[in-house]
Structure 1
Amino acid sequence: MWKFRRSVKTLYAGKNSRGGNYDWVDSPPKTLSKKVAKAHDRVALKVFKIPDCSKPTISGRTPLKIHAVDIQSPYLVSALKDIVKEEGVNLEVSETAHFQEPFKPLFFCYDKILSLSQSTTEAIAAEHLVLLVTVLNEIFGDLMRTLSNLKKSRLISYPLAWTHFPHGSLVYSSASECARVCRVKSTQYESDQHEGNRLALNCEEIAFDGKTFAWRPLRLLIPEFRGNQQVDSLPNFLFDFHLEKEKVERRLRERAVRVLEYQELCYKEYEGVALFTAGCKGLRYNVSGRILIDHHGYNKHHEGFQRLENNTAGNTSGSDGKEKSAYLEPLTKEQQKANKETMLAREQDLIFVTPILEGFALKNKVWLNFFVDDIKPINWNDDAYDHLVYHEEQKDLVLSFVDNHKRLRHGVHDVIIGKGQGLIVLLSGPPGTGKTLTAEAIADKTRRPLYYLQAEDLGTNPAVLGSKIKKVFEMATEWDAVILLDEADVFMAQRSPADITRNELVSIFLRELEYFQGIIFLTTNLYSTIDVAFRSRVHIHLLFDPLSFSSRRILWEKFLARLPATELPPAQSEDAQGGIGKDALTELAKWDLNGREIKNSIKTVRTWCVCKGVGLNLSRLESGIRVTAPQARKVEGEA
């Protein structure tokens, strides 16, 4: 082994150095003699210095700073190998170890290096460690004094922000609408032409990956700022600086326990902001309504993961001998329970569990990331079914078919396996007669998600219609959802030789409907124009006639009964309730309105009365009818 002298060799930026490209020379500003320069050939350490432009020039001389350090001593490299490995640096004893400013690994390991230099008994290694500590004191002396003063005042500066985040440190983040704690892997300063300069924190958190709860990468940013800032004013800061650290840890553990419950498909309510991510693009959505927490669907339909036969990661062999991806297979109850028990046993790691859950917003019709704190149980609307003004036996028939669809669809099969196993319900009739409400009410009554669609959601381009319908049908089947395709006339219209594009749309929709295995409600105002091929494929057809006098009276009574008396002025509440008696209901029912027009009239007049502080009565309701439905006529002969 080479014998290294107990000395440090310093190299300097030569006169030919330009723009960060340095011409390293042995000579400082005053040239050393050749004899002295030769003595620097084989040394334990090489220190490279450059002009320090951050400090003022005094008497024509610019101060120098250490730009890089080469550790040539194998004793030193061997001693440092295990220490700097914690910072992600792997050293080889037979090779020179090179470190460059800002010397992150050496800075974060300074205390361990100092302790090692004081405890090492091997003479040469101890001497070389003392040399290294001397160099580190020159590099970090001013820096450590500055940091000590800043930390005492709970301050941070942007150029020194990296010193707060050693490998493995904990970061508290209040960004992205939700508090979370994650673990630091590395940091680096970046510059973006649109977002400016920032310090990137490459972190990791614990999230459900489809099989278990595992570590996944998370990237946080600290935008550039001027001067000194309070540490906890930043969107991401060292968790040790949080003034209520224990309280936050307790809250995060409680939240993590809730996250553990969402390993399978869940149908929930949501009220708050959700995040959309696709590649580098991130958007915020305001979501108010029902959602599906669906990790597997998110990866399959949004991220685009597929069951590929050549995908070896996490694959299992199926009964047919082909490789099938286990990644997309839902977990059993036993597997979910095992995952939960494993995580609860890792109590210290619960604070790292992500608050983000993947799923689908049914109203927004988009795959999003939801915050677990904003997820609520569904408040089922069972009254909607009772509110339907339709023949009770026919209502019950539809309800029974929908409620037992999974069991019934395995009864009678088509000649071709996979065909004709869906439930197709056609709702036809004029607007406002309860078609849409029927589908909504039955979905709630059977505790199924309702996937509401209109023609524009699918588009009228034959080139992409088939793939869109296929994806919608596939998702709805996986969710055991009820599809409501409102005003589906464009896809069911009678085909004609004169309209080739329309014929193609109808044919595509008919073909996909043939193999659909779920439940779909189709509504139309124009039953007479429906293609004959559709009529033969409909399992249940509910015909909604214009509302009769008795039906209108029932609707007026039901809608008025739902008005909360607490929203009316106290002095008028009794009058408001008593002012709509049997005679008034009879008069209101004489107006030739549909259900939607009745609801709009009541809603408008109620708002008006609340604003004015007056009660509802027949006169005001009829005034509202004339405003909301001016085309309506009152049929005096009805009673």
Structure 2
Amino acid sequence: MSGMLAATEVDIKSVPLKEVLLEIFNGVEGLSLNKTPPMCSPDILFHAKDALILRKVEEKKKDNPNQILIDDIGTALRFINEDFGHQIGSLESLLNNGEITFDLLWALMKPKDHVVSMQFRLTGQSQALSVVSGTYLRRQNSTNFFKLNGRMISHDGEDFGYGFVDIEIDEFDGARKITSLKAYPIQYDPNPDILRKNLIQRGRKYLSLIRALPRAFCQEYTMDFGLEDHETSNGKIQAQKANLRGRVMADPEAWKFNNGWTDLATPIIEREYSITGKDLNLLDDQLLVCANWINGFSLTHKSWGQFSVDGLEDIVWNEDAFKKLVVDETRRKLIHALVRAHRQDDASFDDIIENKGKGLVGLLSGSPGVGKTLTAEAVAEVTSRPLYQVSTGELGIDADKVDKRLGMILEITRRWGCVLLIDEADVFLATRGIDLARDTLVSIFLRRLEYFRGVLILTTNRKSEIDPAFQSRIHFSIHYPDLTENGRVIVWTNFIDTISKQTGNPSLSSADIQKLARLELNGRQIKNAVSCAVSLAREEKEPLSVNHIEMILSITTL
């Protein structure tokens, strides 16, 4: 640590004292006891004061105490009191009031102690660090600050282990509450035991996510914000807050592969500090300093980002999702059985050529709003798989970019065991002819599809225009007719009953639903009408009624 006597070093001539100091601060910066002669900074000796007093008491209690060690510890303690006497008095007075001054920060931050910061990375989320060192520095603009260097445990996308981070505490006048600092020792928190317990509990959760790799967990992200990389106007990549609420894949390895080294990958884990194998059974003090974030992908927002570990929760999969589909029972059971039976390593789908033909591909056709997308969502829910949804518009029309992006999507959905839904895939399915650009896209898709090993569902509005080459690659194909009045009754009932369960208000009468079902609307239009009507009812502080729905239908073109 860099304190008032940073320019000097203490020559440790006593071998027993050297061994005790090594026990207390082994590996700490500023401790060079294995050199000749053994050296130690005065600040390190100061931080050893309490441990030396305890060691002296313990030695005296022994049946055959080491008198040389007792005397040498006494000499060290006298040195500390003589050189730091005036500071010790000031420090004790300040600490008793829970305060500290800028010039005594070095004395507050003891090597190997645990500090907590609420202003690190995800602001408002506590992050614990193990203190390594502290240094007083001056910036080019002549402002002074105290640089606290600490270590934590995280995953940078390649390695898992200890990473080193800095926290800068700007110079301040007079005494300041310790808990108001950017980082402070955990023991000064108003509820240190609760804080420590929560940090360890979160560390255990973080470790479970890391241990699962390369099989990433799909989680529900319940916080309103996370972080994602953003390219500024001058071309620099900076982290910024983003709304990432929804389902996410916690996967720092996939994040690194698709994003490279950015600020969100820090701290970088040096190989010598990596943790592998049996060492993954972390102790409480290690769990305490685990990262409060994990990198991954937002399935809801289709963006790579960084998520708070506290905001991740296990998903409650909707096992009844299939019951809401307006499709005949035979087809429903067929889809369910095929997807449940499919496994990425299942040889039953193997082609003669290795790695070919191991995917499960379904084609859903029909007009908009008849349940195609809902079917894919239901398949994902009942099989407890993530759903990765993409439209052809997102893939683009440039052949090289489409090939690259499609390859990335197919690979990560295979890695995560997703159900991949490509909505409105007509451009990839169309019969090849004289349009060279479109034919190239179809050929790219066919080639990628040959080696895909996951579950893929395609939707189209124009089944009659599908290229014949796709027929042999499709395992099941279902056409959805336009909704009948009875079908619309089911759709209206499903949406309104869901709202009723959420709000606790009574559902609409069967007569009201029958009345609404006579209107020739598709499923998407019905969903939009209910959603808008719910907002209207909430604004008017009333339970949802048929009047709200009819009002929405009268003023909107759905």
Structure 1 spans left out of the alignment, 5+ residues: 1-64, 305-312, 315-325, 328-334, 631-639
Aligned to 2:61: none
Equivalent residue for 2:250, pick from 268, 282, 293: 293
1:152 CA displacement = 2.8
Aligned to 1:6: none
Secondary structure at 1:287 match in 2? coil
Aligned to 1:56: none
Secondary structure at 1:292 match in 2? strand
Aligned equivalents of 2:483, 2:374: Cα separation in 1: 14
Deviations 1:246-267 (A, max 9, x none): 2333334444454454422433
- The answer to which of 617-626 and 181-190 deviates more is 617-626
Aligned to 1:108: 47
Residue type matched to 2:360 in 1?
L
8 Å CA contact 1:80–1:113 kept in 2: the answer is no
Equivalent residue for 1:151, pick from 95, 111, 115: 95
Matched, 1:164 2:108: yes
Taking structure 1 as reference, are residues 424 and 233 closer, same or farther at Cα in structure 2, changes over 3 Å only? same
Equivalent residue for 1:239, pick from 161, 186, 202: 186
Taking structure 1 as reference, are residues 587 and 66 closer, same or farther at Cα in structure 2, changes over 3 Å only? closer
1:240 CA displacement = 2.3
Matched, 1:455 2:392: yes
Mapping 1:450-529, distance limit 5 Å? 450-500=387-437, 502-529=438-465
Aligned to 2:531: 603
TM-score with structure 2 length normalisation? 0.77
Aligned to 1:419: 356
Aligned equivalents of 2:313, 2:6: Cα separation in 1: 56
Secondary structure at 1:419 match in 2? coil
Aligned to 1:402: 339
1:440 CA displacement = 0.2
Deviations 1:510-565 (A, max 9, x none): 21111001111112223344434334422222222322333223323333333317
1:67 CA displacement = 7.8
1:369 CA displacement = 4.1
Matched, 1:589 2:517: yes
Residue type matched to 1:477 in 2?
R
Taking structure 1 as reference, are residues 563 and 350 closer, same or farther at Cα in structure 2, changes over 3 Å only? closer
Aligned equivalents of 1:440, 1:195: Cα separation in 2: 58
Aligned equivalents of 2:6, 2:287: Cα separation in 1: 41
8 Å CA contact 1:275–1:285 kept in 2: the answer is yes
Aligned equivalents of 2:487, 2:464: Cα separation in 1: 24
Secondary structure at 2:246 match in 1? strand
Taking structure 1 as reference, are residues 417 and 556 closer, same or farther at Cα in structure 2, changes over 3 Å only? same
Residue type matched to 1:537 in 2?
R
Secondary structure at 1:592 match in 2? coil
Aligned to 1:577: 508
Deviations 1:62-93 (A, max 9, x none): xxx9784477x795899769748744332576
Equivalent residue for 1:184, pick from 103, 121, 131: 131
Mapping 1:323-342, distance limit 5 Å? 342=281
Aligned to 1:30: none
- The answer to which of 510-519 and 487-496 deviates more is 487-496
Deviations 1:9-39 (A, max 9, x none): xxxxxxxxxxxxxxxxxxxxxxxxxxxxxxx
Residue type matched to 1:601 in 2?
A
1:288 CA displacement = 2.2
Give the structure with higher Rg (CA).
Answer: 1
Aligned equivalents of 1:347, 1:66: Cα separation in 2: 34
Mapping 1:273-284, distance limit 5 Å? 273-276=225-228, 281-284=238-241
Aligned to 1:438: 375
Aligned equivalents of 1:520, 1:478: Cα separation in 2: 14
1:495 CA displacement = 3.7
Aligned equivalents of 1:192, 1:458: Cα separation in 2: 47
Equivalent residue for 2:219, pick from 268, 282, 289: 268
8 Å CA contact 2:219–2:315 kept in 1: the answer is yes
Taking structure 1 as reference, are residues 252 and 616 closer, same or farther at Cα in structure 2, changes over 3 Å only? closer
Aligned to 1:310: none
Aligned equivalents of 2:541, 2:229: Cα separation in 1: 47
Aligned equivalents of 1:594, 1:557: Cα separation in 2: 14
Taking structure 1 as reference, are residues 415 and 498 closer, same or farther at Cα in structure 2, changes over 3 Å only? same
Taking structure 1 as reference, are residues 96 and 277 closer, same or farther at Cα in structure 2, changes over 3 Å only? farther
Aligned to 1:375: 312
8 Å CA contact 1:361–1:368 kept in 2: the answer is yes
Aligned equivalents of 2:349, 2:5: Cα separation in 1: 83
